Structure 1
Amino acid sequence: MDGMDQKKTNIPILFSKSRNSKQIANLQQVRTHLLGLLVNTEIQVSGARKVGYGYFDLLQYPHDSNLNLTVLLQTLLDYKGSMGREFHLQTDSASDNKNKIVLGFLGIMVHLGIFEECYLHMLPVGHTHEDIDAMFSNFSNLLKADIMTLEDLINTFQKLSFIKEGKFVNVVWDFKEWVLNHLVNNHGLGDQFEFRIHTLDKESRTPIFHYRRGEGERWLPDIEDENTYEHQQDKCGIQIFKDMGFLKTNPKCVVPTEKSMHLSRILQETCPKLLESGLLKPDEKQWWEEFSSTVRESYLTPPTNINFPLENLIRRELSESPTSIHPVERTLQELDDRTKRKSLVYTGGYLKQKRRKTAG
């Protein structure tokens, strides 16, 4: 799961038409953003093992954990009948992925029995995500054309052979507000690149996590080694939640905003220029006319009467022979220096560096 350079997907893309019109030179484009996700499965789904998704927005939502988890949940709904007991998610190491909100969401899925274990994998800084980068590169090549509307942009993305669907993001769930006050305060996540979220209690299904810097290293904390945990409460695994009471409610929807959209300038400058340029086909002209007149109603109005879909993933019956689903199936490259002492993840109050333990 990763985002594409948004400048490449701004519309309209005037690849050839701009050469014939000075009237729309330096035109302010509508800013768009693409969040891409690849799913790898152990069995073929719709004839393919690798399936791509693209989620487009107009920057009316912050690009943070709420957006990332919303599209992840939306994608998982497509596989609710073929998911196994183990889930692997690979992302980059950006702060909107490596945080306690994302770990909390994976912990919720373990607690609800959607998965027995969830793994969060992250490549160290400087390493690339070849699969998803290739998807963006292939899409960039298709953008060397006149793409005049948002529908054109999404349809162009769907021309890639392994793409199942391009979607517009019309709702983002506020996972942060939903879980934040119920999360255990922990420290040290930034130094780790792999997390295993699971439970030791099959009745309460209280989620915990272990972590490590790379594949091949031992999972920490190690109950047999007191140097791998700061406090006794951490020795069996790092607690994620103080309580699970928030599950009696559902998260609210994030309210969209035009703060990052430069909407006023677009409506005052871009739309009139395009409509007067003579470069638009009838259907393209209709799209821009509707966009200019209904953008605030269509894209900035908070959604209503939408049910939170997480409960649709809860298993009603256990499968006899499940298959595992892996968004981007990849193992972490081993870190070069295995000999460095490793900082620990721990709960409770913040400890100054000189007071912290390190694991060998």
Structure 2
Amino acid sequence: MMAYLVKHDFVKEVYMSFLLVGHTHEDVDQCFSKISQKLKEKDALTMPHLEDLIISSQTPQPNVSRISTVWNISGWLEPYINQVHNITFPKMYRVQKDGTGHVYMQYKKLSTEDQWHPTPNERPIEIFKLDSVGCQVTPPGHPDKVQPFMAEEDIQTLKRSLEKDFNLAQFTNNCTDWWNEFFNIEIMAQNDEAWPSLKPTLSLNPMSTLSEKELELIEKYKEKRSQFKEVFTKQFGRDRRQYSKDDMVLTKVSATEVSVCRIHNLCGEEIEMEIFKKCRGSFQGTGQFMKTNVRSCFAHGFKLTNSKNIPSKIKDRLTQEKLVII
């Protein structure tokens, strides 16, 4: 789901960090400890009582709300994503989009390491499956709701258990009435809640609201980040970043424009290319060269056709992604 949010520009990037075994104490543990202490002092016999108890358990008071709808996100995404293996070993991940709009994932074994993997020279981790023209495919629409289900036998067993508790725990009439209403109406209630309307990230400067100290911390983090058992997927086909000298490639120059180039030299992340232009119905070299990062080039190199044009498969991809050649 995080890769989906990055792919569709709801967020620019996502970082995930996991604590080491034996070092998993978090601030939220203290929050739940306060709730546990409050429950030792006072019983919560209904959901409204539990909500009030949680709110009064600590300062500042937490916001409490009930989750009445569950969305089947995993079932919605599953046909479109590659299974990632060995994900339990690294402790830090990041999900980003490269210069061509492809979402990819990198990882570190420990957060203290400088190098992110895979490097630009290694096979990238494709989260989404690729279609026949090399575009990442994401699910359309939105997930379905998970329909509530509880066997009638289980409901009756729960009712009988609660009837005993009404007397043992000395439930008030209001508490008893709440549970009766819950069984009659809420336990299998259908909810009309709609899928939330997500908005893409705005092109604002997020640094403008930060203090000098916060900006200093971010600069230190950027400096460390820039220095970036193998995690992998079983996406079929060769590494989409494997280019050879004299391969033709598409490189993105703006949100809607690409250039056709021929690889002249490869050096790590940097590619030197000759720019090709269409002249009299065919693509010809201009003698002009440019250097760019490998992540700005589209997946897979290709050869021009006998008539010195780009293959139909490449044309289909440009049409699908609404891109034009300059």
TM-score by length of 2: 0.57
Whole-angstrom distance in 2 between the partners of 1:207 and 1:163? 39
Give the corresponding residue for 1:223: 120
Structure 1 residue 114 displacement after superposition: 2.1
Whole-angstrom distance in 2 between the partners of 1:276 and 1:267? 13
Describe how 1:302-341 pairs up with structure 2 within 5 A: 302-304=190-192, 306-309=193-196, 311-315=197-201, 317-321=202-206
Whole-angstrom distance in 2 between the partners of 1:264 and 1:193? 45
Give the corresponding residue for 1:279: 170
Contact 1:253–1:302 under 8 Å retained in 2: no
Give the corresponding residue for 1:153: 50
Query: Is residue 2:58 matched to residue 1:167?
Result: no
Give the corresponding residue for 1:53: none
Unaligned runs of 5+ in 2: 131-135, 211-228, 237-326
Deviation by residue 1:131-167 (Cα, 9 ceiling, x = unmatched): 1211111110011112111111122112222343112
- Indicate the SS of the match to 1:171: coil
Contact 1:172–1:254 under 8 Å retained in 2: yes
Give the corresponding residue for 1:267: 159
- Indicate the SS of the match to 1:273: helix
Query: Is residue 2:73 matched to residue 1:187?
Result: no
Q: Which structure has the bigger radius of gyration?
A: 2
**RMSD across aligned C-alpha pairs, in angstroms?**
2.7
Aligned residues: 209
Whole-angstrom distance in 2 between the partners of 1:221 and 1:260? 51
Give the corresponding residue for 1:252: 144
The amino acid that maps onto 2:200 is I
Identity across the alignment (%) = 22
Describe how 1:96-111 pairs up with structure 2 within 5 A: 105-111=1-7
Highest RCO, 1 vs 2 (Cα 8 Å, sep ≥ 6): 1
Give the corresponding residue for 1:344: 230
Contact 1:178–1:246 under 8 Å retained in 2: no
Contact 1:170–1:299 under 8 Å retained in 2: no
Q: 1:207 to 1:273 in 2, by over 3 A?
A: same
Contact 1:275–1:288 under 8 Å retained in 2: no
- Indicate the SS of the match to 1:196: strand
Deviation by residue 1:199-247 (Cα, 9 ceiling, x = unmatched): 112xx532111001111211111235xxxx4xxxx2xx31100155444
The amino acid that maps onto 1:150 is M
The amino acid that maps onto 1:344 is E
Contact 1:184–1:240 under 8 Å retained in 2: yes
Structure 1 residue 172 displacement after superposition: 0.8
Deviation by residue 1:307-328 (Cα, 9 ceiling, x = unmatched): 211x33423x32233579xxxx
Contact 1:186–1:345 under 8 Å retained in 2: yes
Q: 1:260 to 1:168 in 2, by over 3 A?
A: farther
- Indicate the SS of the match to 1:209: strand
